[in-house]
């Protein structure tokens, strides 16, 4: 894996007056190298490797070379300074680019000014962390694979680091497909004797004891609260699969036992649903908790209920088209060369819209369910993307990891990488 060598701040976050959403000022023409020339990295269907284009842009920022994100222009293209090192990197990574002169630059900027497009400066490469178990699990994590393939540096963290305020060292944090309710994703229903599950149970119990917690559910609630505070203080959080749903359940269940009996044989709280405090959660409210040990679902937040007899079949999810000038944040998060994308399962695949808190932005929808959502908390933001692997619709434990070299133009993986670059955008208050 790639480990970041030093901290690179992502800039101060400022919210617009009277809103709970972050805003990004559009500074057209803000990045001008001395030569007046640029490299245009198109992100429409002419790009031969969309995923590595994000890595190229991240590399530019790590070298102290600012960039621009051209929202809604040719699929969300990037404009980089025309430097020899960037040309070499683009060629090495197989990224399509075109040198443009001052006249072409002026034409692009005029088109952006007149249309539903905007230019957003990218300033500093955010320092990235992936919350993931310290051992290698039998399944893969889509975000880790995306970072590796794109060539974006990251570090891994786990519960000890989170509890010791280690999140403050990072601008962007991704949550591995973790079960923050402490039920081990209810894998014991079908994998009770599997060595990897026994190892996971033993490891989590050891961390809980070492940190003074009575059990693993109590440990995970404390970790969830630290993550909540990280976002509220200005962090950028991204989560997929079961981490999206279970961290919310952990936040809302302070003082309530929602974990089905596992290690100590004690039953969960039968009245857990009525005792949940959704004011502690970020995205969801009013959900019915699934406490039956024999049902492999966490709650009714997930719209697909993948491991139940009443599972919904997959369809396609559709990205919403946002105004780049007036809604730059959701526009950044949905930049793509495709707008209708095949759906994919995860332990949490989608989100019932009647379980979303007011103010939550739905970025993509599959039928009557939200697939991709975003919101703000305090000075920070969170983004949840349902499902496990955008290029493996029904990924099973033990399946080989997806080879992204076979999917360099994956629109689903692009959504992940939009989130990685999002913290690099320059922030400024809108005029009122």
Beta strands in 155-267 (DSSP E): 155-157, 172-175, 236-240
d(CA 67, CA 425): 9
pLDDT in the model for residue 203 = 85
* 147-to-52, 197, 409 alpha-carbon distances in Å: 9, 26, 14
Which top CATH class is 128-424? Answer: alpha beta
Instruction: Give pTM, 2 decimals.
Output: 0.88
pLDDT in the model for residue 204 = 84
Nearest to 70 by CA among 43, 102, 101, 106: 43
pLDDT in the model for residue 137 = 60
pLDDT in the model for residue 256 = 83
pLDDT in the model for residue 262 = 55
> Mean pLDDT in each 10-residue stretch from start to end of the chain (432 residues)?
33 30 36 66 98 98 96 98 96 97 95 96 96 72 94 94 94 90 74 75 87 91 96 97 94 83 61 88 93 79 88 94 96 98 94 96 96 97 96 81 95 98 73 30
* 27-to-9, 112, 124, 132, 406 alpha-carbon distances in Å: 20, 12, 16, 37, 36
Nearest to 375 by CA among 240, 238, 283: 283
Domain boundaries, the chain: 38-122, 128-424
Q: In what order do the strands lie in the sheet with 38-41?
A: 98-100, 38-41, 77-81, 67-71, 118-122
pLDDT in the model for residue 255 = 79
SS3 labels along 143-165:
HHHHHHHHCCCCEEECHHHHHCC
pLDDT in the model for residue 138 = 45
pLDDT in the model for residue 27 = 35
Q: What is the pLDDT of residues 241-268, one digit of tens each?
A: 999 999 999 999 987 888 765 545 566 7
């Amino acid at each position: 894996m790639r480990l970041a060598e030093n901290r690179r701040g992502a800039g101060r976050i400022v919210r617009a007056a009277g809103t709970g959403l972050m805003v990004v000022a559009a500074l057209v023409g803000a990045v001008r190298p001395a030569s007046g020339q640029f490299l245009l990295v198109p992100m429409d269907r002419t790009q031969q490797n969309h995923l590595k284009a994000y890595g190229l842009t991240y590399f530019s920022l790590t070298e102290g070379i600012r960039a621009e994100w051209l929202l809604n222009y040719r699929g969300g293209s990037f404009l980089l300074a025309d430097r020899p090192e960037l040309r070499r990197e683009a060629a090495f990574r197989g990224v399509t680019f075109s040198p443009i002169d001052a006249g072409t630059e002026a034409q692009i900027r005029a088109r952006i000014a007149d249309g539903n497009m905007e230019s957003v400066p990218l300033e500093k490469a955010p320092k990235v962390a992936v919350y993931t178990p310290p051992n290698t699990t039998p399944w893969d994590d889509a975000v880790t694979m995306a970072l590796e393939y794109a060539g974006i540096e990251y570090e891994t963290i786990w519960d000890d680091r989170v509890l010791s305020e280690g999140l403050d060292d990072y601008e962007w944090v991704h949550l591995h497909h973790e079960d923050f309710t402490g039920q081990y994703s209810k894998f014991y229903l079908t994998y009770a004797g599997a060595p990897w599950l026994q190892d996971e149970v033993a490891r989590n119990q050891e961390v809980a004891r070492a940190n003074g917690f009575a059990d693993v559910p109590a440990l995970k609630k404390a970790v969830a609260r630290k993550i909540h505070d990280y976002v509220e203080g200005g962090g950028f959080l991204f989560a997929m699969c079961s981490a999206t749903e279970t961290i919310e359940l952990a936040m809302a269940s302070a003082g309530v036992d929602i974990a089905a009996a596992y290690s100590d044989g004690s039953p969960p709280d039968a009245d857990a649903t009525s005792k949940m405090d959704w004011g502690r959660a970020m995205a969801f409210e009013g959900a019915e908790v699934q406490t039956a040990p024999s049902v492999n679902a966490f709650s009714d937040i997930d719209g697909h209920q993948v491991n139940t007899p009443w599972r919904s079949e997959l369809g396609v999810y559709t990205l919403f088209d946002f105004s780049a000038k007036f809604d730059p944040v959701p526009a950044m998060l949905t930049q793509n060369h495709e707008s209708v994308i095949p759906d994919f399962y995860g332990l949490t695949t989608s989100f019932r819209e009647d379980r979303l808190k007011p103010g939550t932005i739905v970025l993509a929808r599959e039928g009557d369910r939200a697939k991709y959502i975003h919101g703000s908390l305090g000075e920070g933001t969170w983004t949840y993307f349902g499902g496990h692997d955008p290029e493996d619709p029904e990924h099973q434990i033990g399946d080989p990891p997806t080879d992204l070299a076979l999917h360099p133009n994956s629109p689903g993986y692009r959504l992940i990488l939009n989130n990685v670059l999002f913290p690099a955008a320059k922030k400024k208050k809108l005029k009122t």
